[in-house]
Amino acid sequence: MAVEALRCKECGERYPLDARYVCERCFGPLEVEYDLSAIDASALRARIESGPASIWRYADLLPFATPPASPLPVGLTPLVRADRLAERLGLGEVWVKNDAANPTHSFKDRVVAVAIAKARELGYSVVACASTGNLAQAVAAHAAAAGLDAYVFIPADLEREKVLATGVYGAKIVAVEGTYDDVNRLCTELSAEREWAFVNVNVRPYYAEGSKTLGYEIAEQLGFELPDRVVCPIASGSMFTKIARAFDELVELGLVARPERGGPIFCGAQAAGCAPVAEAFANGWDVCRPVKPNTIAKSLAIGNPADGPYALELARRSGGTIEAVSDREIVEGIELLAETTGIFPETAGGVTVAVLRKLAEQGKIAPDERVVVLNTGEGLKTLDAIADAVEVIRIEPRLEAFDRAFGLAGAAAS
Amino acid sequence: MGVTVKIPTQLRSVTGGEAEAVIDGATTVGEVLDRLYERYEGLRDRISDDGALRRFVNVYVGGEDIRFLDGLETPVQDGDEVTILPAVAGGR
């Protein structure tokens, strides 16, 4: 196992592998540091390929000295070749990484599985989070599977379905009167006062590592090759940067080669109603100006993105971009993916597909590129988004009524 | 009664463990922070760089991020609460 220490991404200061997330010297974020030099690549590949059908097949590259027991399997979700989507957009090769196929139907199962495994290793008996839905459900489910108590802090106006889909696992739900950013600030303060593992606060460095498994899986599922381009949603910016880190590690290990044309190119996707990272990208800023979110893509509505500066650096360094799309384009993106692949994404997936479409229409994607687009959540989580887009034709239970509605009278006989 | 500043755990090693500080006579967030820097040696370098806040430091007045207000020029008055927090949290 290669895990070494926590290291500040800003100033390089090192810390032991305990529950901390911020550098005491400069307030920079901490990241898990590994020493990959002693890993034999071919032996690692064999371990991966013979490993469990879950994220734990990549345990060598996750922050544990020994692979943890994890009672609810996560990951190894399908990478689906989307030829009809590619054809519709005039592209050559498009794949959809469908992370809706996780236990609580979003990519959050990855980060939470890692965070809760770490919380148990560190001796915590209570886990908590600030969330607007996907994270809440994942924390509640994985805590239930592990036998830990869970406190989930949500904005008080959260939709009923999301509250119920969290509460069913037995988590204590705390409705906070405020926005997500208020809830997050409260949890940051609480994390200093309670001996709890807040998955996206004091164990965040480990939590964030879970997103690397998306990158490992994409590479493995492409036959240990990297795509030319990744289109990925951005909320805090953490997943976006961790997929790149996963690819970098695989290259460093010699398990994959860089694509011949260079890259992969990283393109980030945001909703126009909450686009602090896209705005900073467009203006050439290296930090984000926080915004007050107003979009249907609520799972991406972080107005104050913690990893914004690193997401900006990655998009620029890789030759990519960060684009924003309107709520209308998001709904069209949901429909486009559903109609061409049979995969029904939540609004975040609609954002990502809409940005893919925008880039394709702008001619920014070469016809021979291999593109991977991420769907990070299940469409049933955000049904309201498409309520006005679905047409139902109502008829009486008679053949003539059907023929009248569809204008097919006599068609069957001809 | 002054302005109450809430100090995050990560900075308490330079405040002698104090979790709160009361600052009198300051009229802006910038002045509050300057007074804090005078009071606690080593604090300035931890959260600021060339006179500006480091990019991973968030400051709130009454719960509102000062970047939605007037930044370091945001006015404060007696009874206000200023909170300093690491920006690195979140991911919903």
pLDDT digits (tens, 9 = 90+) for B16-64: 999 999 999 999 999 999 999 999 999 999 999 888 899 889 899 998 8
Strands B64-65 and A14-15: unpaired
Taking the Cβ of residue B89 and every Cβ of chain A, the question of whether any pair is shorter than 8 Å is answered with yes
φ and ψ of A234, to 5 deg = -125, 125
Select from A325, A311, A326 the least CA-distant residue to A268.
Answer: A311
Q: What is the pLDDT of residues A103-116, one digit of tens each?
A: 999 999 999 999 99
- In this complex, the residue of B10, B55, B58 whose CB is nearest that of residue A309 is B55
pLDDT confidence of residue B91: 52
A41 — alpha (psi -120 to 50), left (phi > 0) or beta?
Answer: alpha
- In this complex, the residue of B56, B57, B89 whose CB is nearest that of residue A200 is B89
Tell me the average pLDDT of chain B: 90
**A180 contacts B92? CB cut-off 8 A:** yes
**A184 contacts B90? CB cut-off 8 A:** yes
Query: How many whole angstroms separate alpha carbon A115 and alpha carbon A367?
Result: 39
**B9 contacts A27? CB cut-off 8 A:** no
Q: Which residues of B fall within a CB distance of 8 Å from A309?
A: 55
pLDDT confidence of residue A263: 87
Q: Which two tokens stand for residue A373?
A: 């687009």
**Around Cβ A42, how many Cβ atoms within 10 Å?**
9
Query: How many whole angstroms separate alpha carbon A83 and alpha carbon A138?
Result: 31
Taking the Cβ of residue B91 and every Cβ of chain A, the question of whether any pair is shorter than 8 Å is answered with yes
Return the CA Rg of chain B: 12
What DSSP string runs through B39-75? HSTTHHHHHEETTEEPTTEEEEETTEEGGGTTGGG-B
Closest-CA residue of chain B to A307:
B88
- Alpha-carbon gap: A42 to the closest alpha carbon of chain B (Å): 34
Is-contact A29 A22, C-beta < 8 A? yes
Select from A364, A348, A273, A361 the least CA-distant residue to A315.
Answer: A364
Taking the Cβ of residue B69 and every Cβ of chain A, the question of whether any pair is shorter than 8 Å is answered with no
What DSSP string runs through A193-246? TSS-EETTTTTHHHHHHTTHHHHHHHHHHTTS---SEEEEE-SSSHHHHHHHHH
**B67 contacts A289? CB cut-off 8 A:** yes
Is-contact B76 B82, C-beta < 8 A? yes
pLDDT confidence of residue A364: 96
Closest-CA residue of chain B to A237:
B91
Q: Which two tokens stand for residue A55?
A: 């994220």
**B9 contacts A192? CB cut-off 8 A:** yes
Length of chain B: 92
Specify the DSSP class assigned to residue A391: -
**A309 contacts B92? CB cut-off 8 A:** no
**B58 contacts A26? CB cut-off 8 A:** no
pLDDT confidence of residue A409: 56
Strands A197-198 and A126-130: parallel
Query: How many whole angstroms separate alpha carbon A27 and alpha carbon A11?
Result: 9
Is-contact A288 A277, C-beta < 8 A? yes
Taking the Cβ of residue B54 and every Cβ of chain A, the question of whether any pair is shorter than 8 Å is answered with yes
Beta-sheet strands, E only, within A108-213: 126-130, 149-155, 172-176, 197-198
**A192 contacts B8? CB cut-off 8 A:** yes
Query: Three-state SS for A248?
Result: helix
CB pairs < 8 Å spanning A and B: 104
Intervals of chain A under pLDDT 70? 1, 408-414
Taking the Cβ of residue B53 and every Cβ of chain A, the question of whether any pair is shorter than 8 Å is answered with no
Q: Which residues of A fall within a CB distance of 8 Å from B9?
A: 192
With vertex at residue A47, the alpha carbon angle to CA A42 and CA A53, rounded to the nearest 5 degrees, is 135
- In this complex, the residue of A135, A184, A239 whose CB is nearest that of residue B89 is A184
pLDDT confidence of residue A385: 94
Instruction: Give Cα B72 distance to the centre of its chain.
Output: 10
- Alpha-carbon gap: B24 to the closest alpha carbon of chain A (Å): 24
Q: Which two tokens stand for residue A296?
A: 């249907």
- Alpha-carbon gap: B83 to the closest alpha carbon of chain A (Å): 10
Is-contact A376 A363, C-beta < 8 A? no
